[in-house]
Structure 1
Amino acid sequence: MAVTDRDAAPRYGKALFEVAQEQGHLPAVRDELAQVNAVINATPELMPALASKNLTKAAKDQLVALLTQDASELVAHLVNILLANGRILGLSAVIDDFDARFNAATQHVEATVTTAVPLTEAQVQAMNQALAKQFNVKTVGVTAVVDPAVIGGVKVQSNDLIIDGTVKTRLAQLRQQLLTN
């Protein structure tokens, strides 16, 4: 059975994490990988182009140089290794694996908080503290999203966990109860 890029990603993610940790560069590497991932997401044709057999090695090297121009030697080396090993399509999965390892090591969780109105800075801080306690971690990266359709309340999404205390959901549940009775 062939190993897919997604299957190989943990090997590369773990290796990168261990080297970055040894060098004391974990936060910097994480930031660089986030920038690389942002470029990948903003340019959907980039990864298929890098994986294409139609581009010359020189053209691919130029694209990789542009992709990693602000990155450290460590991150640039990772991207070049993935390209050389035919695993470049797995770069996003490698970044995801690295992020998961970073979050576990630093007891950090990312959460998206959806409300009907924008949160104040004090509310974001309070939400951050409450979620850190709820998830039993040191820090929470809160991304606040405004969606008037939730009407009121808060919806929190983190990894596979969803805490939905929105008025919209409560109304839908009430409606379902009325229809079934």
Structure 2
Amino acid sequence: MAVTDRDAAPRYGKALFEAAQDQQALSAVSEQLAQVNAVIKATPELMPALASNNLTEADKTDLMGLLTKDSGELVKNLVQILMANGRILGLPAVIEDFSDRFDEATSHVEATVTTAVPLTEGQTQAMNQALAKQLNAKTVGITCVVDPAVIGGVKVQSNDLVIDGTVKTRLAKLRQQLLTN
């Protein structure tokens, strides 16, 4: 059975994480990978172009240079190694693996908070503190989503955890109870 890019990503992610840790550059590498990931997401045709046989090696080198122009040596070397090993399409999965390792090492958790109306700055800070305590994290990155369909309350999603205190969910549960009784 062939090893896919997604299967190989943890190997590259771990190697990059350990190298960045050895150089005490975890935060810098994390930021650089976030920039690379933003470029990948903004230009969906980039990764297929890098994997394509239609471009010359010089063109691919130029594209890789643009992709990693603000990156340090570790990130540039990662991209070159992935390219040389025919695994460039796995770069987003490697970035995700590194990010997961970085978040775990720094006790950082990402959470999506869905409400019917936008949260104020004070509410966002209070939510951040409450989630940090609830999730045993030092820091929490909150992405706020406004969805009027929730009617009221808050829904929090973080990794595999979902805390749903929305009016929409409560009404759906009540409706289900009424229909089954």
TM-score > 0.5, shorter chain as reference = yes
1:33 Cα shift?
A: 0.6
CA distance in 2, matches of 1:61, 1:24: 28
1:151 is aligned with what amino acid?
Answer: I
For these two proteins, the number of residue pairs brought into alignment is: 181
1:164: Cα distance to partner?
0.9
Cα distance in 2 for partners of 1:3, 1:168 equals 43
Tell me by how many angstroms 1:172 deviates. Answer: 1.2
Residue of structure 2 equivalent to 1:80 = 80
Rounded Cα–Cα distance in structure 1 between residues aligned with 2:2 and 2:75: 26
CA distance in 1, matches of 2:41, 2:97: 17
Matching of residues 69-108 of structure 1 within 5 Å: 69-108=69-108
> Is residue 155 from structure 1 mapped to residue 144 from structure 2 by the alignment?
no
**SS of equivalent residue, structure 2 residue 86:** coil
Runs of 5+ unmatched residues, structure 1: none
Residue 71 of structure 1 deviates from its aligned partner by 1.0
Aligned-residue RMSD, C-alpha = 0.9
Matched residues in 2 for 1:23 and 1:6: separation?
26
- 1:132-171 to 2 correspondence within 5 Å? 132-171=132-171
Superposed CA offset, 1:101-156 (max 9, x none): 10111111000111111111111111111111111111111111111111110111
Q: Unpaired runs of 5+ in structure 2?
A: none
Give the letter for the 2:103 counterpart.
N
Give, in angstroms, the shift of residue 85 of structure 1. 0.6
TM-score, length-scaled by structure 2: 0.97
Q: Which runs of 4+ in 1 moved over 6 A?
A: none
Partners of 2:49 and 2:123 in 1: CA distance: 44
Identity of aligned residues (%): 79
